[in-house]
Amino acid sequence: MSGILEGKRVLITGVLMESSIAFHAAKLAQEQGAEIILTAFPRPTLTERIAKKLPKPTKVIELDVTNDEHLGRLADLVGEELGGLDGVVHSIGFAPQDALGGNFLNTPFESVATAMHVSAYSLKSLTMACLPLMQNGGSVVGLTFDAQYAWPQYDWMGPAKAALEATSRYMARDLGKQNIRCNLVSAGPIGSMAAKSIPGFSDLASVWDSRSPLEWDLKDPEPAGKGIVALLSDWFPKTTGEIIHVDGGLHAIGA
């Protein structure tokens, strides 16, 4: 049997460590038949080393999603490698340290603006940079952390994720006529590089020990990776503007 992404061409951001959700999405995408290309910032050499652990070799392009020059050249670089795109994975998030860890009421706007630009607006800017390559439609999949709630220590990344979720819905509205679907995977906590940058991450993650209906493993990014691959495939042909929870079911439990 061929894989569910057979013949698909997918750009994947955010592969920083083997423990990252993006790495597992890339690995599963290749195993399911996709050709992939990775982007990285600020250390493409780190991603190139991690990429060697994927089933097949793949090219890594330097991409700062806040840099208009990088975004402007992206379609040409990806087009030279893959010819076009059928999918884009947005796994990008960043907030300065003074926007995390219990400093919510004292964070300056400059730090909030950085978090919003990198973590939310970049979904739109990345997708628009890739749009010339998606002539036959496709699927854009981003990663969020349930923005319905105020999480311990998460601070301004919470509003940034809320903005990301709203951005995905508006993109779904405006890109549907081009047969481009825009969805998010809301994953439970994973012990990735992004998680390690959040002061007090263990306090946040401990919620899953007591409230998740399904046992949650901080060391297992594969379930979220599978969710991404499913949304990239043709098995969700009429699903857009959606948030798929891969969080052990915690989002459904009040207490």
Q: Is 14 annotated as ligand-binding?
A: yes
16 and 193 in contact (C-beta within 8 Å)? Answer: yes
SS (H, E, C) 55-123: CCCCCEEECCCCCHHHHHHHHHHHHHHHCCCCEEEECCCCCCHHHCCCCHHHCCHHHHHHHHHHHHHHH
pLDDT at residue number 197: 66
pLDDT score recorded for residue 192: 63
- Asked, as a colleague might, if the bond just before 237 is cis with ω within 30 of 0, I would say no
Q: Does domain 9-247 have CATH number 3.40.50.720?
A: yes
7 marked ligand binding residue: no
Phi-psi region of 231 (alpha: psi -120 to 50; beta: other; left: phi over 0): alpha
pTM: 0.95
Tell me: is residue 193 an annotated ligand-binding position: yes
pLDDT of residue 244: 98
- For the segment 144-165, what is each residue's pLDDT rounded down to a tens digit? 999 999 998 899 999 999 999 9
What is the per-residue pLDDT for 142?
98
| Tokens encoding 221 | 């990014």
Map tokens 């999480």 to a residue. Answer: 151
pLDDT tens readout for residues 71-114:
999 999 999 999 999 999 999 999 999 999 999 999 999 999 99
pLDDT in the model for residue 2 = 82
User: Residue 21, annotated ligand binder?
Assistant: yes
Residue 218 amino acid letter: L
Task: For the chain, give the mean pLDDT.
Answer: 95
Residue 212, marked binder: no
Extents of the domains making up the chain: 9-247
Name residues of the chain where pLDDT drops below 50. Answer: none
pLDDT for 32 equals 98
65 marked ligand binding residue: yes
* Enzyme catalytic residues: 154, 161
